Amino acid sequence: MHTVDLNCDIGESFGAYAMGLDARVIPLASSVNVACGMHAGDPLVMERTVALAAEASVAVGAHPGYPDLQGFGRRDMALSPREVRAFTLYQIGALAAFCQAQGVALRHVKPHGQLYNRAARDRACADAIADAVRSFDSKLVLVGLAGGQLIEAGRAAGLRTASEFFADRNYTQHGTLVPRTQPNAVLTDETAAAKRVVQAVREGWVESVEGARVPVAADTICTHGDNEHALAFVRLLRQELSAAGVEVRPL
């Protein structure tokens, strides 16, 4: 039987500003990536999000990003590898404290936004993140873009890795995500997107925007649930996976 993890980025509220539908999306996922206060989130949000995940028996992971609240971690920053390692380690430790306080296991680490994108192509950045994860806990799973440098860095560091596939994003012939600045970056046909996820899990390939067949690994699927429309898509995705004989379970 094929298996796959469904992950979702959550815990992105900050102070008086509420983002996402965390209480409703968490039970639909098998693992969640919790913002650690740098690109989004704050201590109270982190504590509440871990509690919600524990209540739903969903696996918890750290979602470290660039120190860029105003830009939501989506702007590149010229951090040195030493800085990347330190910021990553700092954020993992912060979330781990809330997990420990609530008796919840921290299972994985998935970088956020532009840090994730940079680590997919920049080996020095990827090595810095992998070293931070290994230094904190070598049993943690490192999540990165399928075929990217972060997966290679994690393996070189002796970590267990999980290759990620994006349910609603288009791919280039090089196996990278089409930049959000381009009009065809996001898939709009949800039924076709769900069937493409099943294909990636069961057959290991995706069709690029250029029409090429690109091999991909899909250990975990990135989903979003920040509005009613997105929640409906996650439900559809689970239905399609189940119908295809694919079991959804945590990493």
**In the chain, what are the domain boundaries?**
2-248
Q: What is the CATH number that goes with domain 2-248? A: 3.20.20.370
pTM of the model: 0.94
Query: 113-121 and 149-156 helices cross at what angle (nearest 10)?
Result: 70
Which are the contacts of 175, defined by CB distance < 8 A and separation ≥ 6? 146, 147, 148, 214, 215, 216
The pLDDT profile of the chain, 251 residues, written as one tens digit per residue, is 799 999 999 999 999 999 989 999 999 999 999 999 999 999 999 999 999 999 999 999 999 999 999 999 999 999 999 999 999 999 999 999 999 999 999 999 999 999 999 999 999 999 999 999 999 999 999 999 999 999 999 999 999 999 999 998 999 998 888 988 888 888 888 899 999 999 999 999 999 999 999 999 999 999 887 778 788 889 999 999 999 999 999 98
Q: What is the DSSP string of 152-187?
A: HHHHHTT-EEEEEEETTB-B-TTSPBPPTTSTTSB-
Q: Which residue bears the tokens 């979702």?
A: 8
For residue 211, how many other CB atoms are within 10 A of its CB? 7
